[in-house]
Amino acid sequence: MQEKRLKDILEGLDVYIVSHGGVASNSLNSFLMSKGIRCGYTDQDRYADFCHYPKPLTDMTPCIYLHGDYGRAILSMHRRNFLVANAKKMLGIHWETKITLEELIRNNPSDPLGIWRQKTKFENSQNVWCLQYPYTTEKLDGIFKDMGIHVDVSTFPTRSRNTVDMTNVPEKDLPALQYILSVYSTELF
């Protein structure tokens, strides 16, 4: 979808949420929608266009950028077959383009998924609140108070990360995935 059109959609929302994936952004969106907060989740196709966008699209609408727990997030995305798709979004690669983990590594060995670039752009933008996963309802409540959005998040089901490991990773993916994990994570090794 064209960036201008996405910007127009976002400017009609109360807040929009972006992440690198694997940090419960869909759960947060679904919860907020159930509370009457317009965050873009009502149209799954539109949400899919901006949920892992590489940069903020507007400073007119408040944004929550969820990030963190990189190693487990990467393994979670890989397990659910979203890792390459989310990387293509963060890197601005057209969704129909065929690309492998190995090609992502070759193209940008220091940031093969585009996570560091995305994080830097969101951290250095106006009207963006960065929230590191895992987070508490107290931190989430503080962000919404700062934004001037009145929503009770006390019942949001924050949860511990499920155990995610490499036991079910196909052998063909192991070298690339191990390299990617070494770029983004020290907590698993």
Q: Where are the alpha helices (DSSP H) in the chain?
A: 3-10, 25-34, 44-50, 70-79, 83-91, 101-107, 115-123, 137-147, 174-184
Q: What is the pLDDT of residue 46?
A: 60
Per-residue pLDDT tens for 137-172?
999 999 999 999 999 999 998 877 666 677 788 899
Rounded CA separation 41/9 (Å): 11
Q: What is the pLDDT of residue 164?
A: 65
- Where is 53: in which H helix or E strand? none
pTM: 0.91
Please name the amino acid found at residue 56: P
- Where is 129: in which H helix or E strand? strand 128-132
Please name the amino acid found at residue 139: K
All residue ranges of the chain with pLDDT < 70 are: 1, 41-48, 161-164, 186-189
What are the boundaries of each domain within the chain?
A: 3-184
Cα–Cα distances in angstroms (integers) from residue 90 to residues 10, 13, 19, 29, 157, in the given order: 18, 21, 9, 19, 27
Q: What is the pLDDT of residue 186?
A: 61
Q: What is the pLDDT of residue 189?
A: 42
Q: What is the pLDDT of residue 7?
A: 82
Q: What is the pLDDT of residue 162?
A: 66
Edge-to-edge strand ranges of the sheet holding 16-19: 16-19, 63-67, 128-132
